[in-house]
Amino acid sequence: MVSQTTDATFERDVLQSPQPVLVDFWAPWCGPCRMAAPILEQVSALVDGKAKVLKLNVDENQSTASAYGISGIPTVMLFSGGRAVKRLVGVQPAQSYLQALQTTV
């Protein structure tokens, strides 16, 4: 299941995570973001226990979105060991997210 993260919890949820984390930078008004949501739910189920998938609403959490230079959504970033290691912009097939995770899991 895809959970939420916020500006307040991002460091704990993502940067301090012992597991790799895919973060979906999204907004409720974004049509492509809504298209990506079920794909990311599928990815989350497939990697359960090995990696996490989180969502960050860019409208409500502008500090984190700005810090990572998010200018278009959906943007999904892969974090591992507290570092951003991959960025995927736009709706991607599940396989793209899974391939990105294979380098870290």
Over residues 18-65, the pLDDT tens digits come to: 999 999 999 999 999 999 999 999 999 999 999 999 999 999 999 999
- 77 CB burial (10 A radius; 0-12, 13-18, 19+): buried
Element (H, E) at 55: strand 52-57
Over residues 58-88, the pLDDT tens digits come to: 999 999 999 999 999 999 999 999 999 999 9
Distance CA 31, CA 69 (A): 20
Over residues 7-16, the pLDDT tens digits come to: 999 999 999 9
DSSP 100: H
Going from N- to C-terminal start, the domains of the chain cover 3-99
Catalytic pick from 23, 33, 39, 76? 33
**30 has catalytic annotation:** yes
Joined together, the tokens standing for residue 57 give 């609403």
**71 has catalytic annotation:** no
CATH of 3-99, one of 3.40.50.9100, 3.20.20.70, 3.40.30.10, 3.40.50.970: 3.40.30.10
DSSP 16: T
Look at the block and give the residue holding tokens 């507290």.
82
In sequence order, what are the residues at sequence separation of 6 or more whose Cβ sits closer than 8 angstroms to the Cβ of residue 92? 36, 39, 76
